[in-house]
Amino acid sequence: MIGVERLKEIELFRDLTTDELEAMSQICEVKTYEAGSVIFKEGDEGKEIYVVDEGMVNCMIHPTPEQPIVVCTRTRNSLIGWAAMVPPCRYTATAKAEEKTRVFAIDADQLRKLCDAYPHICDKVMQRIVTIERLRQTELFNGLTTDEVELASLACETRVEFVELEGEERLKADLVFIAIGTKPNTELAQNAGLDIGEQKGISVDEYMRTSDPDILAAGDCAEKYSFFTRKPIGLRLASIAAREGKIAAANILVPKWRNEGTLGVFATVIGDLAVGVCGLTEDQARKEGFSVIIGESTGVDRHPATMPGAREVEVKLVFDRKSGKMLGGSVCCAVAAGEMANLMAAAIVSGMRIEELAILPMGTHPALTASPFSTHITEAACQVLSKAGAI
């Protein structure tokens, strides 16, 4: 029989009491498999679940009978054969001992009976089987070790209450966003001997040509250069990838279309709070050495303001004091924020100056936009001119 102390080391049984562990130990049987032997086969009726005690097991699927694909490798304390507990109770992979392997085999019927006697076991063990296995099959967790997946599963099961900062300061939180950034996958390009840039993307010129002029690169894998400074920047977005793809396609035969640089245009919505940002923020513009002048406008996005669905919208525009050209802008809070950020992008790439923006032709409708006397973007530009004494 397997001792309770040993079972306590297994993450699957983490929440069981000593009594429950003792009951579990009664239905665990030690089984040993020689290297190369099959523990269970894909498609077979699932009769047992297993925890690896010693050794190594490869789980494989067989898209074709000749070419098995190893989907995961399991070592000490890992669970295999969980499908025996989840209808239709057929194994979803073949488990093969890669070296001499010892497992704890738990009969699925006996485990179900134990669950009847100890509902807490059912809650805890089944919840962990489902969470761990579902995470393991999630692309986001590919490449994590068993311990890391199990750690992630703890976070998925419980509700966040706070974030602990270094120094033990705690910030109360209901929801946490983790910004992990992106890393271009340039393995293929590196193997082909192409140059890699400062921001780890494939180096490209303004025609999207790599260091080998017969190879073009576009999208997340390609290096991005700022529209304003031409410095390498870390932006990676689908909108940028699609635009670069068009440029690269136009240049396949001869270099025709130029990429004038990357302009970040973002929008997002959380609940009913939508925000849009385009180009440089005030802070970024100052850091890049621009002398900036700011225009702001606040007002409702319908007219009159009593129209159903009217929302207060704030717009902030950043201009280069010297040239009068727009460098960036941000908008909060209407659903139109995404399209307003896109309009700002058009103003920036066309080199529009403050006074051109102040009189930009804008269509309006009471149920769809702000009043013709206060469309936010033109208003913010007017505010700059008014501050400068130009109007």
Ligand X SMILES: Cc1cc2nc3c(=O)[nH]c(=O)nc-3n(C[C@H](O)[C@H](O)[C@H](O)COP(=O)(O)OP(=O)(O)OC[C@H]3O[C@@H](n4cnc5c(N)ncnc54)[C@H](O)[C@@H]3O)c2cc1C
**Min. distance of Cβ 201 from ligand X in angstroms?**
10
**Min. distance of Cβ 222 from ligand X in angstroms?**
8
By CB under 6 A, the residues from 204 to 223 that bind ligand X are: 219-220
Vertex 225, ends 180 and 227: CA angle to 5°?
Answer: 115
**Min. distance of Cβ 236 from ligand X in angstroms?**
5
Interface map 237-276 toward ligand X (x if CB under 6 A): xxx-x-----------------------------------
Residue nearer to ligand X on the CB measure, 68 or 245: 245
Neighbouring residues of 10: CB distance < 8 A, sequence distance ≥ 6: 51, 77
Asked whether position 199 contacts ligand X by CB under 6 A, the answer is no
**Min. distance of Cβ 189 from ligand X in angstroms?**
9
Residue nearer to ligand X on the CB measure, 196 or 241: 241
* Cβ count near 166 (within 10 Å): 5
Give the CA radius of gyration of the chain: 30
- Count residues near ligand X (CB under 6 A): 9
Pairing of strands 28-33, 273-279: unpaired
**Min. distance of Cβ 93 from ligand X in angstroms?**
22
**Min. distance of Cβ 267 from ligand X in angstroms?**
8
Interface map 223-242 toward ligand X (x if CB under 6 A): -------------xxxx-x-
Residue 370 CA to residue 311 CA, distance in Å, equals: 10
Is residue 294 left, alpha or beta, with left meaning phi > 0 and alpha meaning psi from -120 to 50?
Answer: beta
Residue 269 CA to residue 256 CA, distance in Å, equals: 37
Residue nearest to ligand X (CB): 219
Three-state secondary structure call for residue 267: strand
Cis ω before 88 (30° cut-off from 0): yes
Asked whether position 185 contacts ligand X by CB under 6 A, the answer is yes
φ and ψ at residue 186, rounded to 5 degrees: -115, 20
Pairing of strands 265-270, 273-279: antiparallel
Figure out which of the listed residues 155, 188, 269, 359 binds ligand X, where binding follows CB under 6 A.
188
Binding residues for ligand X (CB under 6 A): 185, 188, 219-220, 236-239, 241
